[in-house]
Amino acid sequence: MTASEGMETSRLGPPRDRTIVLVGLMGVGKSSIGKRLAAALNLPFRDADTEIEAAAGRSIADIFAERGEAEFREGERRVITRLLDDPPHVLATGGGAFATEETRALILERATAVWLKAKLEVLARRVARKNTRPLLIGRDPMEVLKAQAEARYPHYGQAHLSVDTGDAPHAATVDAILKALTRHAEARRAQGEC
């Protein structure tokens, strides 16, 4: 990359040469924020859970019930691998995807991972509105989220970037992600990685 190309990319904002993968706990807004981020970057949006359901021909809840979490995670890894072969896009992943070692390594190598964070109280309030999440069926959302945070935060912490979404409007979160992506790209260019 020439110096003028690097300056041009900086003026245009974050680069669009790698898929941006959103990771984080359920309810943090990976899909809804991801759609807005994709529009802001003029990139396609993909949702790993939707792609998994299409590939399996059944819902995530049915896959969990019929096949168990281990088989679901293996299918999830295969789908994410396929999606990362596609041209750059914004990809929302399920909450457990990045906690799976092989999937996490793949994302870290081939994409830019962004951990979306929010307080557990905010997430519990959001996820309590839907009864479609297999890991919440018949369980207290706050207890599930606390257990997931304890197990998954060390993995999420390996993401290239983290952005606190708080209870802010999606537009504010998208703006924060764009700024973080731009800083990350500038740091990579300074280190000669671009």
With b meaning 16 or more CB within 10 Å and e meaning fewer, what string describes 51-83?
A: bbbeebeeebeebbeeeeeeebbeebbebbeeb
Task: Flag whether pLDDT at 18 surpasses 70.
Answer: yes
Q: Rounded to whole angstroms, how far apart are CA atoms 12 and 193?
A: 19
Q: Which residues pair with 45 in a beta bridge?
A: 90
Reading the block at residue 188, the tokens are 């990579």
Q: Work out the pLDDT band at 168, boundaries 50, 70, 90.
A: confident
Q: Rounded to whole angstroms, how far apart are CA atoms 85 and 107?
A: 11
Task: Flag whether pLDDT at 165 surpasses 50.
Answer: yes
Q: Work out the pLDDT band at 2, boundaries 50, 70, 90.
A: very low
Tell me: the pLDDT tens digits for 35-77?
999 999 999 999 999 999 999 999 888 898 898 888 899 999 9
- Specify the DSSP class assigned to residue 15: -
Q: Give mean pLDDT, residues 164-189.
A: 90
Q: Work out the pLDDT band at 191, boundaries 50, 70, 90.
A: confident
Which residues, including other chains, have CB under 8 Å from residue 9's CB and lie 6 or more apart? 15, 185, 189, 194
* DSSP assignments along 57-93, one per residue: TS-HHHHHHHH-HHHHHHHHHHHHHHHHTSSS-EEE-
What does the CA dihedral 64, 158, 90, 31 come to, rounded to 10 degrees?
50
Q: Which CATH class is domain 17-188?
A: alpha beta
Tell me: the pLDDT tens digits for 99-145?
999 999 999 999 999 999 999 999 998 888 776 676 777 788 899 99
pTM, 2 dp: 0.88
